[in-house]
Amino acid sequence: MIPGFSSAGAPQVAVIGGGYAGFAAAVTLARGGARITLFEASRTLGGRARVVEKDDHRIDNGQHILLGAYAETLRMLRLVGVRPSVLETRRLALAYPGPDGCLLRAAPLPAPLHLAIGLLRARGLGWADKRAMLRLMGRLKRDGFRVAPDRPVADLLADTAQTTRITRLVWEPLCVAALNTPVASASAQVFANVLRDSLAAGASASDLLLPKVDLSELFPVPASRWLAMRGHTVRTAEPIKAIHAEGDRFHLDGDPWGTRYDHVVVATAPYHVAPLLEPLPALAPLAQRIAALAHEPIATAWLAFDGPLAFPEPMIGLTGGYGQWAFDRAALGGPPGLVAVVISASGAHQAISKDALEFALLGELQAALGPLPTLKRAQIITEKRATFACTPGLDRPGCATPLPGLWLAGDYVASDYPATLEAAVQSGVIAGRSILKRCGLREQNLLGIA
């Protein structure tokens, strides 16, 4: 317990889920003086953004990119004492090496010049492509980045006469990377929100922030330490099976102490919510609504070579095959020769074997980078329900539920953003602040960090 900070009369709050949303909620609540017990089902913290250990190797379940626009995530990292140097900051660059490639890099200038000058200088894009890109950004800006009624991104691209090349090299990869949903079915409104807060915002908002530590170490582990140092409890390998209401308090099936909690934050992935809410008939319609969300996969191939590869940038685009982006992990604090190739959303790669996919990806890397060193090890991690499918007009629930005291946090909760770390953190902060407000409490500065 922090000296001078009494827990007497503090609300008892249970947070179910040790991902980015759960920890954002827990830290926010702790700053307001609530007593927190966080339950995580797995032994590893981080949920869908976590480290995976296999045969003495530590890799992430999937390569993640943060953007300069992730204001709440970056604030949370600062709050729990994470050093900014754990993120490699790069100006937005879409680099496709190879004969048919292109390089589009944001200029180090204020918006909109960073994009305009970046486009003027772009290599491998014709004037028609550049004009088309500016046309789409101009249309969105003119409409205040509102797309009403919401419709698929593909329709927006057609309405603004995008060229085949700019669609293939810029819009399709950006859309599938940000929304994890192909342009044919992705929400143009959510895509517009992402473009508004990244490409169309200040130059630093579109910066790519690439983690140099594993995803558990980036936030969940430091947040867990931060909570423990202040007398809060984080329990791993402690799955909660169900939530029961008892008067205006709650107890949890799976809580070894049988504590009565004043508030519960359900911070699990959407597909884990329904069983927890089952004993609460008032929440049956909400549980059904959340269970109705469809999901999209993300596959990450981790390829370990016995020497360095000739990456022109730490992150390059791949076209014409299965892989979408390749990351030089050696340039991001990882071991020499480690590469991550990302394939977002459903696609043709799901119809072939892992061996065939691995072989194809090696060919794609070779086409982009030239001859490759010898492959030592390969592992493909597929998260089948990586994110919800971000389709037009999606009905996402808010943090508050019809049951006072029971709150939702998670990347699927209503937000301008698709399922991302930033959406998860934002929802945790909102849930935490809503509880503090209900209790008449305010966040305090426990460490002199704003």
Ligand X SMILES: Cc1cc2nc3c(=O)[nH]c(=O)nc-3n(C[C@H](O)[C@H](O)[C@H](O)COP(=O)(O)OP(=O)(O)OC[C@H]3O[C@@H](n4cnc5c(N)ncnc54)[C@H](O)[C@@H]3O)c2cc1C
> What residues make contact with ligand X under the rule CB under 6 A?
16-22, 39-42, 47-49, 61-62, 64-65, 239-240, 267-269, 272, 276, 298, 300, 383, 386-387, 410-411, 419-422, 424
Provide the minimum distance between the beta carbon of 297 and ligand X in the complex, in angstroms, as a whole number: 8
Q: Which is nearer to ligand X, 40 or 217 (CB)?
A: 40
Q: How many CB atoms lie within 10 A of CB 126?
A: 13
Provide the minimum distance between the beta carbon of 47 and ligand X in the complex, in angstroms, as a whole number: 2
Provide the minimum distance between the beta carbon of 19 and ligand X in the complex, in angstroms, as a whole number: 2
Provide the minimum distance between the beta carbon of 427 and ligand X in the complex, in angstroms, as a whole number: 7
- Report the candidate in 104, 109, 79, 80 with the shortest Cα–Cα distance to residue 92: 104
What is the Cα–Cα distance from 370 to 165, expressed in whole angstroms?
23
Q: Which is nearer to ligand X, 129 or 296 (CB)?
A: 296
What is the Cα–Cα distance from 185 to 167, expressed in whole angstroms?
15
In three-state secondary structure terms, 222 is: helix
Q: Which is nearer to ligand X, 130 or 232 (CB)?
A: 232
The DSSP secondary structure of 80-108, one letter per residue, reads: TT--GGGEEEE--EEEE-STT-EEEE--S
Pairing status of strand 406-408 against strand 263-266? parallel
Please provide the size of the chain in residues.
450
- Report the candidate in 24, 40, 133, 12 with the shortest Cα–Cα distance to residue 415: 24
Side chain identity at residue 211, one-letter code: P
Provide the minimum distance between the beta carbon of 295 and ligand X in the complex, in angstroms, as a whole number: 10
Provide the minimum distance between the beta carbon of 343 and ligand X in the complex, in angstroms, as a whole number: 10
Provide the minimum distance between the beta carbon of 20 and ligand X in the complex, in angstroms, as a whole number: 4
Provide the minimum distance between the beta carbon of 192 and ligand X in the complex, in angstroms, as a whole number: 18
Provide the minimum distance between the beta carbon of 191 and ligand X in the complex, in angstroms, as a whole number: 15
Token pair listed for 366? 């070779």
Residue whose entry in the numeric block shows the structure tokens 């990347």: 411
What is the Cα–Cα distance from 15 to 394, expressed in whole angstroms?
26
Please give the distance of CA 53 from its chain centroid, rounded to a whole number: 20
| Cα dihedral value 209, 214, 219, 220, nearest 10 | 150
Q: Which is nearer to ligand X, 21 or 166 (CB)?
A: 21
Q: Which is nearer to ligand X, 14 or 119 (CB)?
A: 14
Q: Which is nearer to ligand X, 87 or 421 (CB)?
A: 421
Q: Which is nearer to ligand X, 101 or 239 (CB)?
A: 239
Q: Which residues pair with 316 in a beta bridge?
A: 326
- Report the candidate in 92, 364, 75, 437 with the shortest Cα–Cα distance to residue 223: 75
Residues 6+ apart with CB under 8 A from 323: 301, 341, 342, 343, 361, 364, 365
Q: Which is nearer to ligand X, 119 or 245 (CB)?
A: 245
Taking CA atoms, 401 is separated from 294, 406, 438, in Å, by 21, 6, 14
Provide the minimum distance between the beta carbon of 236 and ligand X in the complex, in angstroms, as a whole number: 9
Residue whose entry in the numeric block shows the structure tokens 């370990």: 304
- Report the candidate in 17, 130, 57 with the shortest Cα–Cα distance to residue 407: 17
Side chain identity at residue 154, one-letter code: A
Beta strands in 274-349 (DSSP E): 295-305, 315-317, 325-328, 338-344
Q: Which is nearer to ligand X, 153 or 264 (CB)?
A: 264
Q: Which is nearer to ligand X, 37 or 163 (CB)?
A: 37
